Amino acid sequence: MMAPSTLRPPLTWRRAALAWSRRLLLWGAAAVALAAPDPFQAARPLTRFSDSRAGLPADTVHALLLDRQGTLWAGTVDGPARHTERGWEPFPLPGGSRSSFVRTVLEDRSGALWFGTQDGGLWRWRAGAWTHFEGGRDLPSNRVNCLLETAGPGGAPEVWAGTSRGVAHFAEGRWLPPDPSQGGLSDMIWKLREVRERDGSTSLWAAGHTGMFALRSGVWQRVGKDLPALRRGASDILQVPTTGGPLEVWVACWGYGLARWDGAAWSLYPAPTHFPSPFPTSLALGDGPDGKPAVWAGTFDASLAWFGAGAWHTLNHGELGPTSGIYALKSLPGTRPDFILGTRGSGVGFLDLGGWRILDERCGLPSAEVNTFAETGEGFWIGTARGLVRWGKDGPRPERVRPDLANVFVSTLLATREAGRERLWTGTLRGLFVRENGQWRAETPLPVLRAMVHALVETPAPDGGTRLWAATGNGVACREHGQWRQVLPRPGEPEFTALSLAVSGGRPDDPAVWVGTGGRGLLRLQGDSLTLNVGGGSLPNPSLYGLVASTGPGGRTWLWAATPGGGIGRLETGAADPRWEMFTTTNTPGLPTPFISGLFKDREGRLYALTTRGIARITLGTRDGLPVPTQLETFTTGDGLPTNTLAANTGFQDRAGRIWVGTAKGAAVLDPSLERPSAPLQTPALTRILVDNRAWTGDGPLVFPHGVRRLVLEFRVSALHRLEDVRYRTWIRGLEGEAAPWQAEPRRELTGLPAGRYELQVTARNHAGQETEALRIPFRVLPAPWATPWAFGAYALAALGLGLAVVRWRTRWLTAHNEALRNEMRTLEGLIPVCSYCKKIRNDSGSWDEMEHFLARRSGASFSHGVCPECRDQVRSEFRKD
């Protein structure tokens, strides 16, 4: 349990021997958890485990690393792995490794990863290449248990390796040979840490198989050599930062417990009287369950303990879950989860102390189905589906409202005080009961009170007394001066189901009572006046599962309503014509679902909406004089809820300010003062590229060939809290005009991408709406070979050559044609021999041609024949002579 233990103050080492003989006798008693008087202390914090079913190479984890990109690495007995949104991704050592058993993992200043193995030496992964360092050549042995990076002379980084035969030192790019002047430490080294000494200097401490050692002034010295606690060696070292105070160094002493060194003396915490286990394995500094810094210790036999108020307190097996042992412990102070656990047989565990905690049958409830809560001077009350539980000084105790109703369904509780008398009103499936002065009695004088009671509320009465209102499955009843009267339904009206009640408006001594019904909308009771269906048709769903009253600026009063399918409604109760304004998934505040099963308000004025997808916490602000949602936070099973489906109208805030809700899988409780934010997301990283279903292995700029039919770009962010709620938005610049909608899938698939230059932009957003910087990856798709610039250049040269050839041929033809014309012109020019009698012309061959034939062949002209006037007269005269 998480209740503080009553272990005694620490012993000095001289008294440790006297207590040693009593440890076995007290072992069994220390293993029995004390009953917690506070149910919050008994509630289990969120603990989840991720093992081989999620891709982890093996379920036993000896090493944990959170790198600078926020990626979680685990060193298992069958190789390392890294955590992704799809689970664990194995990161196998090279095939030539003699061992896949990883005992330690380190990221150095350059970003290189170092993996120390059980008996295969040390492997370094840097810039995509493996380097192996082996025993006998580089290291004292092939077993590497721990690694540590320090700053050497001048600030240069150096790596130290704890092996089965002492400490190895890597500096200036090489492993330094053993220095005999250092003392020749050859012990099995389990852990290396830097410790700031009292004089301000820094020394290297080593937890070994035979004790503690410190490298001071270049020489290994044994620390606490006469301390009985270190006879079986040390497994871890932790220095707690102090400001001007004494030194505080904690040592995990194997087979004993813990020891603390203040620079002058040791304080001892032997098991089981002062520490829960004699076999501590790991130490870490983190936030305690109360939110204050605390030292934490993991043990071989599964318990996890923290140091506070001068004593050690324990988280037992039931609170941690199925783990059988803790080998590695990593804290994440101020964020969520608080711790990461490397376990024996259960994989990697995540412990979240700042979220919701669960109270169920394992914690003493008669049923996991929880419906209601109340707080009185007698203790804290929880109503379940199988009876009522009172959590007092002695822990949980079942209460019977009647001997024959031991397992009755308890639906609602209300604690009241009148005239110094405290009453607990208990609504059940069998009607109403009340507890007063430690005695129970039935309050069922009317039929309306014998049905299931859904809600109870107390209001002031005009005469200074009080009124008690009950909403049941048969209507509404009111108790005043010890007498009950049926308010609704009125005589002659049919029965109806009243689901919720609220008080708002009216006179201070006679306020208005608002009734949320199942199917009949909102009713208003003011004195003897009844107003039906307030808000009219502006309400999308006439069933109101929860009502909350609030007061805004100027004293204006408002009513908020939870509806199953319509979201949350807001109505001004004092308006002349009140109308509902709805808030759903599509408008502010962007509810996770429109199905709201309950609604309540905390002391800070925030609304808690109970839904089928977890809890939505809404912070209200003011705009134009109206109360409006300004911020929405969601809580899911990732925050510790036992289920995302909340029971109807079960919210409650106790005197300590803690928030309680009921579910079918237990009660959930949140202490807002202990809430821790999620770590901000890192910029997404590109993890894999698939080109036509084949992994892309190219280096350098991303240039894809022509003809790519399917291109898949995969990316991821590292998140340890609510990774399932991370969303991604992508934008292919050069192809799309705007970014794509938010999506859950960490990939972008493109088909038929044309040639061109593009840029992939990826932004991630967590559950709180916080966005990362965009990942920008430029890439290019090559055009077809015949569409490349070289091809177009060749086409241009060919066209130019063809054009030149055509021009040259044309020039030659024209030249030849011109020459022929010139020859013909020369023929027609100059002296032509003509017969003076018959007018024939002699051609080039010496023959005589008719003039017409000669000219026709040389010039291409044709002739027509006629008779000129002179010849006509001559021919006529000759005809007359004949």
Q: What CATH number belongs to 685-786?
A: 2.60.40.10
As a whole number of angstroms, the distance between CA 243 and CA 418 comes to 53
Q: Which pLDDT band, with edges at 50, 70 and 90, does 830 fall under? A: low
Percentage of residues in the chain with pLDDT exceeding 90? 62
Confidence category of residue 616, pLDDT binned at 50, 70, 90: very high
- Convert the pLDDT of each residue in 18-67 to its tens digit: 333 333 222 332 333 334 678 998 899 999 999 999 999 999 999 999 99
794's enclosing H/E stretch is helix 789-828
pLDDT at residue 41, rounded to an integer: 87
pLDDT in tens, 676-729: 888 889 999 998 999 999 999 877 899 999 889 999 999 999 889 999 999 999
715 contacts: CB under 8 Å, gap ≥ 6 = 684, 685, 686, 687, 728, 746, 747, 748, 762, 775
* Token pair belonging to 35: 């009953």
Peptide bond preceding 783 in cis form (omega within 30 of 0):
no
Angle at 835 between CA 829 and CA 838, to 5 degrees: 125
DSSP 373: E
* pLDDT 10s digits, 835-872: 877 878 777 777 887 877 777 776 666 777 777 887 77
Which residues partner with 250 through β-bridges? 238, 260
Over range 391-415, report the average pLDDT.
88
pLDDT at position 138: 95
Nearest to 634 by CA among 646, 623, 621: 646
**What Cα–Cα distance (Å) separates residue 495 from each residue in 165, 455, 488, 547?**
84, 17, 8, 21
Whether residue 359 contacts residue 43, with contact meaning beta carbons closer than 8 Å, is answered with: yes
pLDDT value at residue 580: 94
Tokens of 803: 């054009």
Query: How far is residue 652's CA from residue 650's CA, in Å, rounded to a whole number?
Result: 7
The whole-angstrom separation of Cα 216 and Cα 195 is: 11
Task: Evaluate if residue 273 carries a pLDDT over 60.
Answer: yes
**Domain ranges, ordered by start, for the chain:** 13-43+90-337, 685-786, 788-830, 831-882
Supply the CATH classification number for the domain 13-43+90-337. Answer: 2.130.10.10
Classify strands 775-781 and 702-704 as parallel, antiparallel or unpaired: parallel
**The dihedral sign for the CA sequence 133, 139, 143, 147:** negative
Region 738-744 average pLDDT: 95
What single DSSP character describes residue 647? P
If you average pLDDT over every residue of the chain, what do you get? 88
Is 262 a residue whose pLDDT tops 90? no
